[in-house]
Chain A
Amino acid sequence: MLAETDPGASGAPHPLAPVPYSVRAVATETPDTTTLVLEPVGSRRIGRPTPGQFVMLYAFGVGESPIGVAGGNSDGQLVHTVRNVGKVTNALSHLTPGDTVGVRGPYGHGWPIAEATGRDLVIVAGGLGLPPLRPVIYQLFAHRESYGRVEIIYGARTPKDLVYYDEVQSWRRRNDLRLQVTVDAAGRDWYGDVGVVTTRLPDARFDAGRTTAFVCGPEIMMRLTAQALVGRGVAPDGVWISMERNMKCAVGFCGHCQFGPSFVCRDGPVLRYDRVAPLLRLREV
């Protein structure tokens, strides 16, 4: 029976089989956060991810971890930013150029950028919530005329926890968007805003009636930001958040990432706020 349902038996790649990628470059973002640029080793490559999707990165001999896609190109290059928080991410964080990792995916549903066409866009990122939103921002830059006003709000714990620092500063020089960067606490060497990301929303300029918001970060931050956006008049079905759960198989088989009626790997990770808001208030979901 297994042979009949095993895609590998028919010669097609097994859905859980990783594709080898080579580490092209490594950049240290913060003391515990690293950005990896990956390239396919041979002719095999995964499909091109859409903004907001994730892949499973396999540190050979250690294990797999779901990692959001922070960038890439049509040649199959992938960019991932990884925080060292466990065994697998520790291994990924210590990769060096020339090392090989396994990649499978891309998985899940990403940001509904097409649905935001013609609307104002508010992008709110907290901490490592910026990498999954980075492809949205570059797609936005490539088709800037397709959107109304754009507000980007990025918050982190401290200035040294800000990722893509120079890149974000370059966004500040654009005159077709507003960027606010804030940190929760800072020393005297920081001259920017201090306060949680929600404190920057009152300064954000958008027409609430025609605004789509993409929010990514710690779950509490997303909940409070979504509430604040709705409080400013943004329709709950115009707010999208990217959930993070314990994803194992990434293809809806195992159920590890169940979130109420949804599997985050299959139905998310990007979910519409009005559909998940009641679940965000429940403990142990």
Chain B
Amino acid sequence: MTDETDPNVVEAVREHPFFHGFDPEFVHAICRQAVERHFAAEDLLAKEGSVAEVFYVVLEGKVALEIGAADNPHLTVQTVGPGEVLGWSWLVPPHRWRFDARALKPTRATALHAEVLRRTLAGHPAWGYQFLVRFMPVLAERLENTRIQLLDIHAR
């Protein structure tokens, strides 16, 4: 991580669908210490139980979210691709990843620094509210999709 703000990272985040319409000043603020990361297929972006130090903004590639199940230690329950964001553990204590995230193919993502994000959101409530208004639908949609998966509709 670096204290510098990389203009290329700021530009990539600003162009990302999740951040469309946000105050450029906010985007700049949350991009402090952010870096662009490149992952080869099979690389782990996140390891269940480890500290969630980043919030990923996926730019290219595909990432599998895996959980361990009794009959399958690597059960993929969702894939995330370009235009989507990855991770909420950085926001919710104890700030540890709740799943493994593994690249299915070469993947490029901006890693926003969790501590910078939390401090920015807490220090500027209007930005914080705006961010949560944008973030909650993502979480709600994933909750809804999980419910549908739990219904196991194809087995009926």
Is the pair B75, A157 in contact by a Cβ cutoff of 8 Å?
A: no
Query: Interface size on B (CB < 8 Å)?
Result: 25
The answer to whether the Cβ of B124 comes within 8 Å of any Cβ in the partner chain is: no
Name the CB-closest residue of A to B71: A187
The answer to whether the Cβ of A218 comes within 8 Å of any Cβ in the partner chain is: yes
The answer to whether the Cβ of B51 comes within 8 Å of any Cβ in the partner chain is: no
Is the pair A185, B76 in contact by a Cβ cutoff of 8 Å?
A: yes
A188-B74, A194-B64 known; A157 vs B79 contact (CB < 8 Å) = no
Q: How far is the CA of A157 from the CA of B152 in the complex (A)?
A: 7
Chain B 63-93 interface 0/1 with A at a Cβ cutoff of 8 Å (1 = within): 0111000001011111101010000000000
Q: How far is the CA of A196 from the CA of B156 in the complex (A)?
A: 15
* Dominant secondary structure of chain A at its interface with chain B: mixed
> Which of B23-31, B125-133, B143-151 has 4 or more CB atoms under 8 Å from chain A?
B143-151
Is the pair A184, B74 in contact by a Cβ cutoff of 8 Å?
A: no
Name the CB-closest residue of B to A191: B104
> Which A residues touch B155, using CB under 8 A?
157
Is the pair B104, A218 in contact by a Cβ cutoff of 8 Å?
A: no
Is the pair A126, B78 in contact by a Cβ cutoff of 8 Å?
A: no
> Which B residues touch A195, using CB under 8 A?
78-79, 145
A198-B145, A199-B145, A220-B148 known; A187 vs B76 contact (CB < 8 Å) = yes
In the complex, how many angstroms separate the beta carbon of B17 from the nearest chain A beta carbon?
9
Q: How far is the CA of A192 from the CA of B152 in the complex (A)?
A: 19
Q: How far is the CA of A216 from the CA of B104 in the complex (A)?
A: 29
Q: How far is the CA of A221 from the CA of B147 in the complex (A)?
A: 12
Is the pair A191, B154 in contact by a Cβ cutoff of 8 Å?
A: no
Q: How far is the CA of A177 from the CA of B3 in the complex (A)?
A: 46
Q: How far is the CA of A224 from the CA of B72 in the complex (A)?
A: 28
The answer to whether the Cβ of B140 comes within 8 Å of any Cβ in the partner chain is: no
Q: How far is the CA of A193 from the CA of B152 in the complex (A)?
A: 17
A126-B154, A127-B154 known; A191 vs B105 contact (CB < 8 Å) = yes
In the complex, which of the residues B75, B81, B83, B156 contacts A187, with contact meaning CB atoms closer than 8 Å?
B75
The answer to whether the Cβ of A26 comes within 8 Å of any Cβ in the partner chain is: no
Q: How far is the CA of A157 from the CA of B155 in the complex (A)?
A: 8
Is the pair B148, A224 in contact by a Cβ cutoff of 8 Å?
A: yes
Is the pair A185, B153 in contact by a Cβ cutoff of 8 Å?
A: no
Most buried by A among B72, B78, B145, B152: B78
Q: How far is the CA of A184 from the CA of B146 in the complex (A)?
A: 9
Name the CB-closest residue of A to B155: A157
Q: How far is the CA of A196 from the CA of B153 in the complex (A)?
A: 10
In the complex, how many angstroms separate the beta carbon of A237 from the nearest chain B beta carbon?
25
> Which A residues touch B72, using CB under 8 A?
187
Chain B 6-40 interface 0/1 with A at a Cβ cutoff of 8 Å (1 = within): 00000000000000000000000000000000000
Is the pair A126, B153 in contact by a Cβ cutoff of 8 Å?
A: yes
Q: How far is the CA of A217 from the CA of B65 in the complex (A)?
A: 25
In the complex, which of the residues B66, B83, B153 contacts A221, with contact meaning CB atoms closer than 8 Å?
B153
Chain B 88-104 interface 0/1 with A at a Cβ cutoff of 8 Å (1 = within): 00000000000000001
Tell me the A163-202 residues at the B interface (CB within 8 Å).
Answer: 182, 184-188, 190-196, 198-199, 202
16 contacts between A and B (CB under 8 A): A126-B153, A156-B154, A185-B75, A186-B64, A187-B76, A191-B104, A193-B62, A193-B79, A194-B76, A194-B79, A195-B78, A195-B79, A196-B149, A199-B141, A203-B81, A217-B154
Besides the contacts A185-B75, A188-B76, A192-B79, what 17 more A-B pairs have beta carbons closer than 8 Å?
A126-B153, A157-B154, A186-B64, A186-B76, A187-B74, A188-B74, A190-B76, A193-B81, A194-B77, A194-B78, A194-B79, A196-B145, A199-B141, A199-B145, A217-B154, A218-B156, A221-B154
On A, residues with C-beta under 8 Å from B are 126-127, 156-157, 161, 182, 184-188, 190-196, 198-199, 202-203, 217-218, 220-221, 224
